[in-house]
Amino acid sequence: MRVVRAGSFTIAASQLGLSRALVSRHVGELEGRLGARLLNRSTRSLSLTEEGAAYLEFCERVFRDIESNERAILRTRAEPVGTLKVLAPKSFGTIHLSDAVIAFAKAQPRLRVSLVLENTPYRGSYDFGERGLDLVLCFSTMRSASVVEQEIGTLEWVLCASPDYLARAGRPQSPSDLGEHSCLVHVDVMPNDSVWRFEGPTQPSLASQATAGLSPPKRRARRRKGSVAVKVRGAFFSNAALTLAKAAAAGLGVTLVPRYAVADDLAAGTLVNVLPRYRAASRTLLAVYPAAPTIPRKVQAFVDFLKLWMAEHDIGRRKPRVAAE
């Protein structure tokens, strides 16, 4: 191609940065392989044979194809295109992630987005392979060198109950009081389901003053380096945070669920925060994707978007205002 375009072996060689010898050899080898002379060459002029003209046309077509394809592939590095398949825990995904994904899909019209929600989010590299997933969102580390984990944000769990339940059963003043309460327990996701951990209380001076005389020596609550773990008596169990929230709203008891599950109820007053000065163990949301030299643009875009989105929407982050008691 270059020889024909240049009209001369010598010029083509200098354009290609090769010696004339190589160019001559390459053309000769190609002719030998095809078994047909492609160029009629006399010392001064160069011209295509019939086969040469046909072959040149073919080569140019193939090169155009290759070029356009490489451009297409390079574009996937420049902008998010194609399909993005995300796997996420069902409850978290249903309630809050769906909004984020919808917003993301709207912002990326050239990207098809698929959100797969399951209760058992990740079963190994199988998901990235056969299932064709690009990204898995989960709360526990994979402990595998073949994946990359990136923190998206922290999800805070909140302790809450309905006002009428609290009016009926009394408002707990410290975590240890929870042992006496009807607790609605989220199972299968948090480790040690029946043990709730808290940190705090915040404003320790005030809290200690306020509760010094009221709270008896803690029973069944073991403090450990500023955190307290209390074994609760479950009255109702579910692996779905929304179900627990509904149960709590119905006055069934006190529940510890991710904030996203009860955000609406808290805003509406159907549920109120219990022990606001204590912070339940928060869990970081991880974005997990296969370890590769380069992260696909679409994955990067989604991770970035989700980080920003979670920060902006303040999911799981404790609101500045303290719920009025």
Among 5, 25, 168, 219, binds DNA (CB under 7 A): 25
Closer to a second copy by Cβ: residue 48 or 103 = 48
Closer to DNA by Cβ: residue 73 or 145 = 145
DSSP class of 294: S
125 touching DNA, by CB under 7 A: yes
Closer to a second copy by Cβ: residue 38 or 285 = 38
76 touching a second copy, by CB under 8 A: yes
17 touching DNA, by CB under 7 A: yes
Footprint (CB under 7 A) of DNA, residues 85-124: 124
* For residue 276, cis peptide bond before it (omega within 30 degrees of 0): no
Footprint (CB under 7 A) of DNA, residues 46-75: 46
3-state SS string over 74-143?
HHHHHCCCEEEEEEEEHHHHHHHHHHHHHHHHHHCCCEEEEEEEECCCCCCCHHHHCCCCCEEEECCCCC
Distance, CA of 237 to CA of 34 (rounded, Å):
75
Among 43, 192, 205, 294, binds DNA (CB under 7 A): 43
42 touching DNA, by CB under 7 A: yes
| Residue 153, phi then psi, degrees to nearest 5 | 175, 175
17 binds, among DNA, a second copy, none (CB under 5 to 8 A by kind): DNA
44 touching DNA, by CB under 7 A: yes
Footprint (CB under 8 A) of a second copy, residues 24-53: 31-32, 34-37, 40-42, 45-47, 49-51
Distance, CA of 104 to CA of 201 (rounded, Å):
38
Give contact residues for DNA (rule: CB under 7 A): 8-10, 17-22, 24-28, 41-46, 124-126, 144-147
